[in-house]
Structure 1
């Protein structure tokens, strides 16, 4: 029997195999985690949320709070919600 010569890998798998050797331990953990999530039928998504540290966001929040505080019905709703809430375990 003739032994076949090893051929260089081709395609996506080849790129993955060559990169796997140079991955850091943390990158490898992330890769395995993502593979497990994909196996469960999940896929990653990116969600963009406001940056709460920007002055613009803080100003917008302050305006919204002022509107709520100036409205008597909103105040009654908030007071009712506070009465229903159980805050005994808050520190």
Structure 2
């Protein structure tokens, strides 16, 4: 085992002993062709849906008020 692999194993063992576990998360590749266009398409769909629901803005305002001070 290489010194780097030993350090990685030791670090992971320490984290596991602290009650953590590794999780692999896959996210969209922002460099992929068409990514920008897909973001714009989805944002357009959301904007269109928002325009058809006038109560959404007041709901979001009320919900965001609950976030004040959450990090304290």
TM-score bracket relative to the smaller structure: 0.5 to 0.7
Counterpart position of 1:23 = 3
Q: Which has the higher contact order (CA 8 A, sep 6+)?
A: 2
Structure with higher Rg: it is 1
TM-score scaled by structure 2?
0.55
1:1-91 matches, cutoff 5 A: 19=1, 22-24=2-4, 28=7, 30-40=8-18, 42-71=20-49, 72-73=52-53, 76-77=55-56, 79-80=57-58, 81=60, 83-84=61-62, 85-86=64-65
TM-score scaled by structure 1?
0.47
- CA deviations on 1:1-44 (whole Å, 9 max, x unpaired) are xxxxxxxxxxxxxxxxxx3xx515xx62x322201233345442
In structure 1, list runs of 5 or more residues that go unmatched: 1-18
Q: Distance in 2 between matches of 1:45 and 1:56?
A: 28
- Aligned-partner SS, 1:51: coil
How many residue pairs end up in the alignment? 64
